[in-house]
Amino acid sequence: MTTQTAPTTRRWWALAVIAAAQFMVIMDTSIIGIALPKMQAELGFSQENLTWVFNAYVVAFGGLLLLGGRLSDLLGARRVFAAGWLTLLAGSVIAGAAGNVATELVGRAVQGGGAALIAPSALTLLMMLFGSSPQELTKALAVYGAAAPAGGTAGVFLGGVITEYVSWPWVFYINIPIALLALVAVPALMPSAPARPGSVDLLGAATVTAGLAAAVYGIVRAPEAGWASGQTWGVLAIAAALLAGFVVVQSRRREPLMRLGIFRAPNLAAANIAQLLLGAAWVPMWFFLNLYLQQVLGYSAFPSGAALLPMTTLIMLGMIVLAPRAMQRFGAKPMIVTGLLVLGLGLGIMSLVRPTGNFWVDVLPASLVAAGGMSLAFIPSLGTAISAARPEEGGLASGIVNVSYQVGSAVGLAAMTAVAAAFGADQVTDIPELTSGFSAAFLGAAVIALIGAGVAAVTMRAPAPEPVPEQV
């Protein structure tokens, strides 16, 4: 009995560290929001380049994810996971100690690079620990998935508290003790995997990293530069050329960074599309809901974070309690399609927000419906995207699904920002116009979710022939 209990206990402690990694990766995108005005005043950011405190992290994270996944497969997930925490720690020190704009952005980019090592290796370690038991794997993925909304809401809370009562550098320094604890825990808890023979496709890594970074850069800059501007289309054309070059390089390499045949695995491509569209619908909702609470309803940072707690709590309970049971009963495809439909319904209700609204009528009901949809769709699509690949390509599959969600988030947020501005969200002092812009963004995100449901219904196979989490 004791020989069984010890490894089991250690596995769930290892899962706690993996979930903490997901928590941190997401928290680092949301914790800076409240601190931005003080950072702007002290470091000399202009209004235009202030957004790059967020974007520098996202560009580095999205651009380096595939390389992180490949390194995880070659060098071993445990080594890359530890290296990611060390890199995140270094970036946090640089960002917190920065005395000027350039140093701050370098620190944020280094943080993003650390996250790009952590995210795919964390999912690979999760599969190594729980992949032999479909029921346990579904539970583990649920805990991992629930850490994301917890990290987002905790970031809003902590960012407000730290900025108000301590000082803005501590929104970065808070990572340091957590990273040190993780680095101590990794050798004790995480399974080791020997390094595999193989080479890193440096040309492929350079082209895909530059291509993804250029795509994310072009998209996040488009609302400022204009979607029809030569600058926007020039950057996106460069991104398209680089990504096309990456595909050509991969087709000709003996040991490519991303084996193109991986997408022939049943349901892998369909699950990644579902994750992309889920991110494209969810992140704009979360972003504009924060703005509606603060700019229309007049909430300060702390009450705004508190207003997100019911939604966050429902997502976490839905992912941990409801999703695993529903997966076993219904399978992945019905869960993904239903979840995206429910998310679309919640966003549609949210688009009815009023300039003279209140939390109980305009926010709470719609946010709970949307949270229910997210909790239904996220775990099945994530689990399918990872487990459909061959075991030795777990790091690559984890990198791909992270890229899908992050690129979807960036594209969705940039597109809905443009939609919101077109319908009045740039009129910050005109509350009715501002609300109209937010409403248009919620409605646009609802359309994305409904498109996702339709695409999943057409492209997902059911039942999946691969050993995905829903099979028992």
Say what the pLDDT of residue 455 is: 96
In the chain, the N- to C-terminal Cα span, in Å, equals: 24
Domains in the chain with CATH codes: 1-200 (1.20.1250.20), 206-256 (no CATH), 261-472 (1.20.1250.20)
Cα 217 to Cα 235: distance, rounded to the nearest angstrom: 8
Q: Specify whether the CB–CB gap between 14 and 189 falls below 8 A.
A: yes
Q: Specify whether the CB–CB gap between 374 and 274 falls below 8 A.
A: no
CA distances to 175, 316, 317, 371 from 375, rounded to whole Å, are 27, 7, 8, 6
Full pLDDT tens readout for the chain, 472 residues:
333 444 678 888 999 999 988 888 888 877 876 677 778 788 887 755 666 787 788 778 877 888 888 888 888 889 999 999 999 999 999 999 998 989 999 999 999 999 999 988 998 898 888 877 877 888 888 888 888 777 877 777 787 778 777 888 998 999 999 999 999 999 989 988 777 777 777 888 889 888 877 887 787 777 778 878 899 899 999 999 999 999 998 888 887 878 888 888 888 899 999 999 999 999 889 878 877 887 899 887 667 777 888 988 898 888 888 888 888 888 889 999 999 999 999 999 999 999 999 999 999 999 999 999 998 999 899 888 888 877 777 777 877 888 888 788 878 887 888 888 889 887 878 899 999 999 999 999 999 999 999 999 999 886 544 444 444 3
Helix axes 332-350, 364-387, angle to 10 degrees: 150
Say what the pLDDT of residue 452 is: 96
List, in sequence order, the alpha helices (H) in 190-229: 202-225
Say what the pLDDT of residue 468 is: 44
Say what the pLDDT of residue 95 is: 94
Q: Specify whether the CB–CB gap between 85 and 114 falls below 8 A.
A: yes
Residues across the chain = 472
Say what the pLDDT of residue 211 is: 87
**Cβ neighbours of residue 306 closer than 8 Å, sequence gap 6 or more:** 157
463 upstream amide cis, omega within 30 of 0: yes
Cα 250 to Cα 15: distance, rounded to the nearest angstrom: 33
The pTM score is 0.81
Say what the pLDDT of residue 464 is: 42
> Of 299, 40, 274, whose CA–CA distance to 160 is shortest?
299
